[in-house]
Amino acid sequence: MAAVRGSPGPGLSAAYVRVSRMLAITVETENGQRHIRIATQELASLVRRIGGENDKLLVVQRIPDLPDVFIQVWHRRGGDYTLEYRDGAPDRHFQTMLDGPEPVIAAMTGWARMEHGWNTGLDWVPLDLGPGPVPPLELDDDEREQLEKRVREVLVGGYATRAELAEIAQDYLVSEDYGPVSPEQARRLVDRMWVERVEEQTAWEGETDPERLTRAFTALETAGITARENFTCCRTCGQAEIGGVGSPDARGFVYFHSQCTDAAAGGHGLMLLYGGFDGSPATTTSIGQEVVAALEETGLSVEWNGEPRQAITITPLDWRRRLVG
């Protein structure tokens, strides 16, 4: 029996409890690692770890990320810890020096939890690192409309970071001898549209369809099926790469690529691609049945005729994916 739409299915309450205990942050490290929604002890371990070559910096942002709101720490082994935070405007950027990881951990954890007075008791010094004036975009109406339409399409998809969206905005109108959008202009455009989307999602209540999808994919991954969201740019790349991203003993896979995400964000439902790693129609059919069952368990509506060559489609689908950043 499928779960009631909008409520956790059987046995999922424990997962919800675990998620509620996570810090609603992303942590990016100098060595390229990115951690999303981690426990306090994991943040503490990351702070204690830094100091080595190419691993001296942690940047922490809340979920959803907001422009110019972050806390970060820099440390080289044998030296002090340089802790900074910024709260929006250039005159809300501060720095302090600490001689060990524990006060850094306490401050970062308090910041992540938005605790009152988290920054008291430390000797903060204001920093003036504000950007200079950014000239307005010099685009005609058609170009501006095209650019904002593309940025919003990816933004509503919900998987891109602000930095990735800024790259898209900067490159979208580029031709051989024409590059009308500077990096600073791209960031300003994206920041405005990002904040507008964050404001939109404050009105969303309860679990959304993309969150149900993530819940189903998590269950499938646990059951031995490699499940990936917004995976690669197209079917050709997805089929070529899906075998290398999951557990070596996975029985099969399910994914959707970025073009599928664009379609879902545009209100056209979501197509899922799936199969068995042994290549047999019987295994592919079995994987498809497990995928459908997991999706229906979360309350999503699925169309599939049971044929191994037929894609699985989630429809109708209300694509409201909350931003991370």
pLDDT given for residue 177 in this prediction:
85
Q: pTM for this one?
A: 0.85
Q: What is the pLDDT of residues 42-98, one digit of tens each?
A: 999 999 999 999 999 999 999 999 999 999 999 999 999 999 999 998 889 999 999
Nearest to 83 by CA among 120, 124, 50, 113: 124
- To the nearest whole percent, how much of the chain has pLDDT over 70? 93
User: Is residue 223 located within the same domain as residue 195?
Assistant: no
Q: How confident is the model at residue 260 (pLDDT cuts 50, 70, 90)?
A: very high
Tokens of 161: 């970071």
Q: What is the pLDDT of residues 110-157, one digit of tens each?
A: 999 999 999 999 999 999 775 667 899 999 999 999 999 999 999 999
CB atoms within 10 A of CB 92: 14
**Is a pLDDT exceeding 80 seen at residue 1?**
no
pLDDT given for residue 290 in this prediction:
98
Q: What is the pLDDT of residues 127-136, one digit of tens each?
A: 977 566 789 9
- What backbone torsions phi and psi does residue 324 show, to the nearest 5 degrees? -110, -70
Q: What is the pLDDT of residues 180-220, one digit of tens each?
A: 999 999 999 999 999 999 999 999 999 999 999 999 999 99
User: Is residue 236 located within the same domain as residue 218?
Assistant: yes
User: Is residue 196 located within the same domain as residue 216?
Assistant: no
What element of type H or E holds 275?
A: strand 270-276
Domains held by the chain: number: 3
Q: What residues does 52 pair with on adjacent strands?
A: 55
Contact (CB, 8 A) for 224 and 247 = yes
- To the nearest whole percent, how much of the chain has pLDDT over 90? 89
| Domain, as residue range, for 266 | 209-314
- What backbone torsions phi and psi does residue 45 show, to the nearest 5 degrees? -65, -40
User: Residue 222 falls within a domain, yes or no?
Assistant: yes
User: Residue 16 falls within a domain, yes or no?
Assistant: no
User: Residue 6 falls within a domain, yes or no?
Assistant: no
- Domain C-terminal end among 151, 183, 200: 200
User: Is residue 122 located within the same domain as residue 153?
Assistant: no
